[in-house]
Amino acid sequence: MMERIMHPTPEEHQPNGEPEHQSKSAINGSIARQATIDAFKKLNPVNMVKQPIMFVVWIGCLLAIGYTIFIDEMRGFNLTVSIILFLTVLFANFAESIAEGRGKAQADSLKASKADVMARKRVGQLIQSVSSATLRKGDIVFVRAGEYVPGDGEIIKGLASIDESAITGESAPVIKEAGGDFSSVIGGTLVVSDEIEVRITSNPGESFLDQMIALVEGASRQKTPNELALSTLLTSLTLIFLLVVMTLPVFTNYLGFDLSGPILIALLVCLIPTTIGGLLSAIGIAGMDRVTRFNVIAMSGKAVEAAGDIQTIILDKTGTITFGNRMASEITPVGGRAAEQAFEGVILASLADETPEGRSVLELAELRAMPVEQHWLDGAEIVPFRAETRMSGLDLRDGRRVRKGAGQAIQEWVKEQGGTIPNDLQEKVDAVSRLGGTPLVVAIDATILGVIYLKDTVKPGMRERFDRLREMGIKTVMCTGDNPLTAATIAREAGVDEFVAECKPEDKIRVIQQEQAAGHLVAMTGDGTNDAPALAQADVGLAMNSGTQAAKEAANMIDLDSNPTKIIEVVEIGKQLLMTRGALTTFSIANDVAKYFAIIPAMFMVAIPQMEVLNIMRLDSPTTAILSALIFNAIIIPMLIPLAMRGVTYKPMTADQLLGRNLLIYGLGGVVVPFIGIKIIDVLLASIL
């Protein structure tokens, strides 16, 4: 059964400030040096043609150089125009190279951590020492303290402390264990303590580290749909202005004067949106880089961009909204059973349960001095937990069948055995649910014995984070296998908008499809094989690094820190990417207005004195006006590189508020700043010339 219940929105919101992630320095010495070299390499026409706007500037530069060499008239002016246009192209290439350089630096670091190590592989009953390069999917290896994990895999036996700093950057070792949520290991990580048995899950060249290196290098980055659309728009504007400039000599000849080729080229360069054209690629690369530096690997720029448009987030309760370390706190008998009978049932049901919850039941039993004998498992058939049945247990050698699971599932199972439901069962289950705990019911054959109280708590600050998402216009939906009463208690405490109780894997897909059918983009997190279909269905699927291989393959993002709540920050990074692109596009188009007022009157006021009225900046001469506009057009690109790398400051706001903010800061600023900059440059040029 799936219940979907609307949860009231809290009346008071506590807006937070900056996103929790902090961008690192955009540029360092080694990256800048390499970026300078790469900027010259990118002058290759094969590369330049991929950026239509800058390709037009590059062609204009070559034409201006031709005028300088072959035409004596205005040679100094033509040479100056050539140099400025060359620097404009070089600065645009430098911006892209800086963005790529940060990814390549991280890729080099990952390559350094990738080494061929010796692995202890199980072959039949023997253990052989082999090269990690020879390991294949399905091989079993043993790794002890001081050894590196030879390949990606799943821990099938044991528990160990593992140093993953080479991959995640987190210096503190993490505990990985068989049967828990954190059973996945990555090749190249160091086992600090104990020994584990690992089943290899990838072939050579297909490991997670190999995929990371390919992704963060960014050399083969594909443009996102929004980026392609903006590129098409900017290219169309460039073609329109190119046609305008090409037909301009016809009108000037009619008016009785000629415009030289370099002046027409300067006009074209000032008309087309070169600022955003030079920074567009860098913004996209930097967006993926910011996600990577937040320890999330995005499979494509499209995933990052889609995160910025997310309207609904599907979240698991356990481990995401709550801490997830549900521990057995109490065993309550039902139906007049003695406490010893209830404990016998829960012990038998948990003997083969390797999850933290199962082990906590046995620890509670030992604390209460109840006998726990592993030999009770002899000859028993283990019934593993399945999301479809929502129960697990044992079929004992003596014929008894023990089951532990959700209250509704156990009740239906007992009824199938011909048993009856104790009158006080629902009361005990509801009591646990009202406390925000998870009740598990235990039965042997047709007899229900008791209720296990699994205690879990909501993570601090979750309500504030959901309030923040609400301010962005994002709806949160909590999915949980708990009964509606427990789900309602947790949802109320956490502050989510809606919740889905007694949720099965297919219910998650149904919720996602319902939201998508309403025109919403949906994000979700997951780590298990059962989550894989929903992760694939979601527009943004964030898989946990500790999760199963199926979940990682289905998702389009992987969180190296295995923190399910990071989807909130990923959404903020995506929104920051879209805001940065929009802000710089607004600034680029706005500063063209100032350049028009600088260069157009300068070209025409010699032949048409009445055009002097448009020289509102009172620039010194036509020559200084044109050169000032071109110089400003060139230097504004490197000046905006830090903003493109870092991204604009993100704060939750509505679309109308965002539009107003962009127009005020980047629209008005894009008009005012060039007026000031061009005037200052003109004064300096006038004093020099």
373 annotated to bind ligand: no
Q: Contact 131/150 with Cβ under 8 angstroms?
A: no
pLDDT over threshold 50, residue 11: no
The candidate with the shortest Cα–Cα distance to 489, out of 530, 458, 453, 454, is 458
Q: What's residue 16's pLDDT?
A: 38
Q: Contact 311/512 with Cβ under 8 angstroms?
A: no
> How far does CA 191 lie from the centroid of its chain?
28
Tokens describing residue 557: 């993002």
527 annotated to bind ligand: yes
206 annotated to bind ligand: no
Q: Which residues contact 495 (CB under 8 A, 6 or more apart)?
A: 10, 462, 463, 466, 467
Q: Contact 647/577 with Cβ under 8 angstroms?
A: yes
Catalytic residue among 181, 316, 539, 682: 316
354 annotated to bind ligand: no
Least confident of 28-32, 132-136, 313-317, 443-447: 28-32
Q: Kindly indicate the confidence band of residue 14, based on its pLDDT and cuts at 50, 70 and 90.
A: very low
Per-residue pLDDT, averaged over 52-74, amounts to: 90
679 annotated to bind ligand: no
Report the alpha-carbon distance of residue 580 to residue 525 in Å, rounded: 26
401 annotated to bind ligand: no
Tokens describing residue 526: 């997951």
Instruction: Find where tokens 């296998």 sit.
Output: 481
Q: Which residues contact 193 (CB under 8 A, 6 or more apart)?
A: 145, 160, 161, 173
pLDDT over threshold 70, residue 259: yes
Residue 105's alpha-carbon distances to 184, 218, 298, 539, in angstroms, are: 26, 11, 17, 30
Instruction: Find where tokens 């059964």 sit.
Output: 1
Q: What's residue 222's pLDDT?
A: 60
Per-residue pLDDT, averaged over 46-75, amounts to: 90
Report the alpha-carbon distance of residue 438 to residue 407 in Å, rounded: 10
Residue 276's alpha-carbon distances to 317, 564, 585, in angstroms, are: 42, 35, 6
Strand runs labelled E in 26-152: 118-123, 126-131, 140-144
388 annotated to bind ligand: yes
209-256 tens-digit pLDDT: 676 666 655 544 566 777 788 888 888 988 998 998 888 888 777 777
Tokens describing residue 46: 């094969």
595 annotated to bind ligand: no
Is 316 a residue of the active site?
Answer: yes
357 annotated to bind ligand: yes
Report the alpha-carbon distance of residue 149 to residue 140 in Å, rounded: 12
Report the alpha-carbon distance of residue 532 to residue 641 in Å, rounded: 39
> How far does CA 81 lie from the centroid of its chain?
43
| Better-scored residue on pLDDT, 318 or 61 | 61
83-140 tens-digit pLDDT: 999 999 999 999 888 877 766 766 666 666 566 788 899 988 888 889 888 898 899 9
Least confident of 178-182, 231-235, 248-252, 449-453: 178-182
CB atoms within 10 A of CB 64: 26
Q: Kindly indicate the confidence band of residue 64, based on its pLDDT and cuts at 50, 70 and 90.
A: very high
Tokens describing residue 200: 């290899």
573-624 tens-digit pLDDT: 888 888 888 889 889 888 887 787 777 777 777 667 777 777 777 877 888 8
Report the alpha-carbon distance of residue 619 to residue 680 in Å, rounded: 10
Tokens describing residue 535: 């992760």
Instruction: Find where tokens 């216009």 sit.
Output: 473
Provide Rg for the chain, Cα atoms: 32
Instruction: Find where tokens 């990923």 sit.
Output: 570
Ramachandran category for residue 679: left, alpha or beta (phi over 0 → left; psi -120 to 50 → alpha): alpha
392 annotated to bind ligand: yes
Per-residue pLDDT, averaged over 288-312, amounts to: 80
Tokens describing residue 102: 């940060």
Sheet architecture: strand order including 557-559:
3-6, 498-501, 475-479, 312-316, 522-526, 540-544, 557-559, 296-298
Tokens describing residue 246: 């090409």
Give the pTM.
0.66
Least confident of 65-74, 232-241, 390-399, 648-657: 648-657
Q: What's residue 404's pLDDT?
A: 92
DSSP tag of 243: H
In the chain, how long is the greatest CA-to-CA distance?
110
522-564 tens-digit pLDDT: 998 877 777 788 888 998 988 887 666 677 778 888 887 777 7
For residue 195, the surrounding DSSP H or E stretch is: strand 195-200
391 annotated to bind ligand: yes
CB atoms within 10 A of CB 335: 17
